[in-house]
């Protein structure tokens, strides 16, 4: 995900985008039922179009436009092993967990599905359950060390499907949110669809 985000940012800049980092959105300017500006802590930015691609925070952006976006944060905790020789040749999914070995050798073991708001902490019980499930699937892992653990927030929706496109009665606004588990996988297709709608 980090490399993909870096590549998207570099590509956007090469096409003339101005990327503002660490800039909080504080509101949306709306005139005649159309979004005309984005308010930020650094000032107002006039615009013709806003794309709500704020992940688990999409509802906050939606509320700025008077919209109810049915997205909620869903925490996923993950365990990562030390670098290993080739153990897996594909992603392995079981009822307990999924396992995927990265090109550099680390095995990623994930992931929980928890509705705990915006809490991105990790819990010993989840780490243990993921590890036990991984060892059950691949016994070799019982002798390896854990390198790091973390959690992230998925943008969940009631039907687990993304929310894409315009909203009736509000011009200059598109949704590109609610991808739940498939945001990275569907990012190129979502970008293509939103670009076509933005024309």
Task: For 1-22, write each residue's pLDDT tens digit.
Answer: 788 889 999 999 999 999 999 9
Residue 61 has pLDDT above 80, yes or no: yes
Task: Note the pLDDT tens digit of each residue in 115-136.
Answer: 999 999 999 999 999 999 999 9
Least Cα distance to 173 among 90, 27, 62, 68 occurs for 62
Q: How far apart are CA 39 and CA 47, in angstroms?
A: 10
Which token pair is 41? 């802590």
Start-to-end CA span in the chain (Å): 27
Does residue 138 have a pLDDT over 80?
yes
pLDDT at 189: 94
Say how far apart CA 160 and CA 85 lie, in whole Å.
Answer: 35
pLDDT digit string (tens) for 161-198?
Answer: 999 999 999 999 999 999 998 888 899 999 999 999 99
Give 114's DSSP letter.
B
Average pLDDT, stretch 102-118? 95
**46 prior amide bond cis, ω within 30:** no
Mean pLDDT on 75-95: 94
Model pTM score: 0.88
Strand, coil or helix: 121: coil
pLDDT at 77 over 80: yes
The mean predicted confidence, pLDDT, of the chain is: 95
The predicted pLDDT at position 44 comes to 96
Mean pLDDT of 139-162: 95
Query: SS3 of 101, please?
Result: strand
At 199 the pLDDT is 87
């Amino acid at each position: 995900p980090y490399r993909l985000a870096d590549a998207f940012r570099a590509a956007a800049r090469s096409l003339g985008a101005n990327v503002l980092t660490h800039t909080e959105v504080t509101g949306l300017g709306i005139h005649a039922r159309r979004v005309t500006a984005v308010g930020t802590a650094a000032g107002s930015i006039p615009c013709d179009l806003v794309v709500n691609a704020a992940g688990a925070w999409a509802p906050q952006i939606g509320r700025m436009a008077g919209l109810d976006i049915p997205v909620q944060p869903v925490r996923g905790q993950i365990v990562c092993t030390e670098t290993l020789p080739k153990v897996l040749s594909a992603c392995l999914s079981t009822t307990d967990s999924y396992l995927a070995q990265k090109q550099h050798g680390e095995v990623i073991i994930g992931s929980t599905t928890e509705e705990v708001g915006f809490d991105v902490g990790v819990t010993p019980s989840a780490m243990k359950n993921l590890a036990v499930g991984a060892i059950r699937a691949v016994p070799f892992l019982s002798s390896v060390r854990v390198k790091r653990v973390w959690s992230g927030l998925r943008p969940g929706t009631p039907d687990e499907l993304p929310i894409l496109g315009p909203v009736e009665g509000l011009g200059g606004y598109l949704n590109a949110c609610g991808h739940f588990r498939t945001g990275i996988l569907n990012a190129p297709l979502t970008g293509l669809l939103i670009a076509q709608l933005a024309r």
